[in-house]
Amino acid sequence: MVRTRLRLYYIPVFLATALIPTWLIVSNALRYVPAISPRRGFLAQRARNESERQEDRGTSVIQHEISYQLGNSSEFGHNSRGSLNVTPKCNTTVAILVPSLLPGLLWREYKQFVDQFKRHSTPFGRGKKLRSLHLECPRQRCNVHVLVTVEARYLNASDAIIVNMNPQHMKRKHPKLLPHLRRALNPKIHWVFYGVESPQRMTYWDRSISEIEYHHSITYHSEADIELPYGKYSPNLLDQVTSSKRDWSANKTGLVAWMASNCKNTHWPRLEFVNELKRHVPVDVYGKCGTAKCLPIFDAFARNCKRVLAQYKFYLALENSECDEYITEKLWDNALNAGTVPVVYGGRKEAYQRLLPPKSFIHVGDFNSAKALAAYLQLLHSNNSMYNAYHAWRKYGNLQATQYPPLDPQLFCKVVPFTLAPPPQFKVAKNSGYFKSCRRLPGVMAERGSLKLFVPWK
Ligand SMILES: *[C@@H]1O[C@H](CO)[C@@H](O)[C@H](O)[C@H]1NC(C)=O
Ligand SMILES: *[C@@H]1O[C@H](CO)[C@@H](O)[C@H](O)[C@H]1NC(C)=O
Ligand SMILES: *[C@@H]1O[C@H](CO)[C@@H](O)[C@H](O)[C@H]1NC(C)=O
Ligand SMILES: *[C@@H]1O[C@H](CO)[C@@H](O)[C@H](O)[C@H]1NC(C)=O
Ligand SMILES: *[C@@H]1O[C@H](CO)[C@@H](O)[C@H](O)[C@H]1NC(C)=O
Ligand SMILES: *[C@@H]1O[C@H](CO)[C@@H](O)[C@H](O)[C@H]1NC(C)=O
């Protein structure tokens, strides 16, 4: 799910950024920074020794931050303001290794994150160009300071550094930057690999991403240390069944819908597949790859578009990559949440079965051809009880779905427990379950124009 929104007025900004290689910034910082050399974990030390806090002058990192209280900490019962024994909570510093927080070039989940910084952060550092965000972590031993920086002195003062959060921005800088930083910085720093894009996508951008070394991971994949999926299904207890018998085909005026903004940059011939399917069953194509429109057209993912899609019986939830568990908002939000039945492809059927509600989807790999799939959709269209069987799960479970994995404060809070122990052995990205979940790597773009060589991954 990548939607870079390159607007005209961002182009000068983009050029300016592109012309100042991060590498230079970092190597410069490395050259004259050691004079400051703040101790790693000094924030945590402050917690242990309040008196030292007064003397610590290496604290320029987080001098001016404001407290950003999210949620309602009193509801958790810990650290409540009324507590008699008030010991200050330690602060864990989590740095995000990204050169800047420029909007426009960034994809959507990152934009949300940038906005959060805008609203709740304070500038710090030379020229006040850097920002920090203080997060309350009611369930954790420490609260969190989040920094976005490439400056070695601030990175060195962090307890954990998140890398690869914006692989497009960092592409081709990883190979030089990361090994260098790992050597130059304190070995007690925890390195956290971040990935909500598919490994096919990332290795297409930058093959060296597969060589990134890390201690802990944040990805959509179930093997991650901190899971960040696009959606989640939780079965209810049977006695909590609430909804009554409902005909899910009622009020549906359309048959099959597809919405996409990326027509050609896919790792399997997705557009060709949809075109072939269209020869056998009507498919309304929204977004850039088709002519169907749900207004306002400037944002294909606007809320009212969801209402339009909800009027279809089926929604094509076809991912850009062939990777198990890479199941995005296309499926969780656009289809299941909207009350349609998703026709899915991306990972193997087994992965969908593990993660989605039972009997809630139709996998492309179950059919020998687009024609056979079309015939099955027509059959369900003609038989309401067969169609409704794909909605039966709704009585027994709940969905949590988002348009993109939220970079919410609790995500950073989840890093805290990992930093309380020394870092484990380094792992290499390419050996992770997340990377190994793909049909093939490195990712390459699909041959265009023909479906002949395409055999669905089952
Ligand atoms: C980072 O901190 C370590 C330990 O305090 C120190 O040895 C190292 O020189 C520092 N590196 C930089 C680039 O500041
Ligand atoms: C943690 O950071 C907050 C906000 O900057 C600060 O008020 C608090 O004193 C810090 N706690 C410790 C133990 O340093
Ligand atoms: C705190 O620091 C002071 C001065 O550095 C030291 O004398 C004292 O023992 C420390 N206290 C604790 C609890 O570590
Ligand atoms: C915060 O907690 C208090 C006390 O439990 C409750 O009355 C209040 O509604 C909560 N506020 C929010 C925004 O959840
Ligand atoms: C269908 O639409 C009608 C009128 O808008 C509404 O009353 C009814 O509840 C809808 N039925 C379902 C199953 O959504
Ligand atoms: C619909 O399918 C069910 C189950 O396969 C079958 O029992 C029923 O006769 C079908 N109804 C129609 C109208 O074809």
Longest dimension (CA), the chain: 76
Distance in Å, CA 338 to ligand 2 centroid: 43
Ligand 4: which atom is nearest the Cα of residue 74?
2
Which single residue is written with the structure tokens 């193997």? 348
Q: Which amino acid is at 345?
A: Y
CA of 380 to the centre of ligand 5 (A): 20
Length of the chain counted residue by residue = 458
Q: Atom 4 in ligand 1: which residue has the minimum CA distance?
A: 186
Q: Per-residue pLDDT averaged across 398-412, rounded?
A: 75
> Ligand 4 atom 11: the closest Cα is on which residue?
72
Residue 91 near ligand 2, beta carbon < 6 Å: yes
Give whole-number Cα distances, 190 to 137, 217, 416, 423, in Å: 19, 10, 10, 6
Q: Is the pLDDT of residue 83 over 70?
A: no
Q: Whose CA is nearest to atom 5 of ligand 5?
A: 251
pLDDT at res. 246: 87
135 lines ligand 2 (CB under 6 A): no
Tens of pLDDT along 182-236? 999 999 999 999 998 999 999 999 999 999 999 999 999 999 999 999 888 988 7
Instruction: Give the range among 33-42, 147-156, 257-266 with minimum mean pLDDT.
Output: 33-42
- pLDDT score, position 87: 64
Could you tell me if 396 and 274 are in contact, meaning their C-beta atoms sit under 8 angstroms apart? Answer: no
Ligand 6 atom 9: the closest Cα is on which residue? 383
| Residues 314-352: b if buried by 16+ CB within 10 A, e if exposed | bbbbbbbbbbbbbbbbbbbbbbbbbbbbbbbbbbbbebb
Strands 160-163 and 90-97: parallel
Tell me if 49 CB under 6 Å of ligand 3: yes
Task: Say whether pLDDT at 7 is over 70.
Answer: no
Q: Which residues line ligand 5 (CB under 6 A)?
A: 246-247, 250-251
Q: What is the whole-number distance in angstroms between the Cα of residue 75 and the centre of ligand 4?
A: 7
Q: What is the pLDDT of residue 127?
A: 62
Ligand 3 centroid – CA 44 distance (Å): 14
For residue 245, the model assigns a pLDDT of 79
Model confidence at 361: pLDDT above 90: yes
Nearest CA to 151 out of 222, 70, 61, 226 is that of 61
pTM: 0.77
Give the number of other Cβ atoms within 10 Å of residue 433's Cβ. Answer: 14
Residue 62: predicted pLDDT: 27
pLDDT tens-digit profile of 256-305?
Answer: 999 988 898 999 999 999 999 999 999 999 888 998 887 655 554 556 78
| Alpha helices (H) in 209-280, listed in sequence order | 270-278
Query: 420: Cβ–Cβ under 8 A, 6 or more apart, which residues?
Result: 141
Residue 51 Cβ contacting ligand 3 at under 6 Å: yes
pLDDT for res 120? 74
Ligand 1 site, residue 398, Cβ cutoff 6 A: no
Q: Which of 91, 132, 412 for a ligand 2 pocket mutation test, highest count of atoms within 8 Å of Cβ? A: 91
202 Cβ contact partners less than 8 Å away, ≥ 6 residues apart: 164, 167, 195, 209, 443
Structure tokens at 195: 């990935």
Q: Distance, CA 45 to ligand 1 centroid (Å)?
A: 17
Closest ligand to Cα 248: 5
* Alpha helices, H only, 188-266: 199-205
* Residue 353 binned pLDDT confidence (cut-offs 50, 70, 90): very high
Residue 41's pLDDT is 39
132-to-73, 93, 116, 148, 285 alpha-carbon distances in Å = 21, 10, 11, 7, 42
Q: Look at residues 330, 323, 331 and name the one whose alpha carbon lies nearest to residue 351.
A: 323
Q: Is the CB of 242 under 6 A from ligand 6?
A: no
Which of the ligands is closest to the CA of residue 48? 3
Three-class secondary structure of residue 84 per DSSP: coil
Q: How far is the CA of 77 from the centre of ligand 4 (A)?
A: 12
Distance 387 CA to ligand 6 centre (A): 10
Q: Among residues of the chain, what percentage have pLDDT more than 90? A: 49
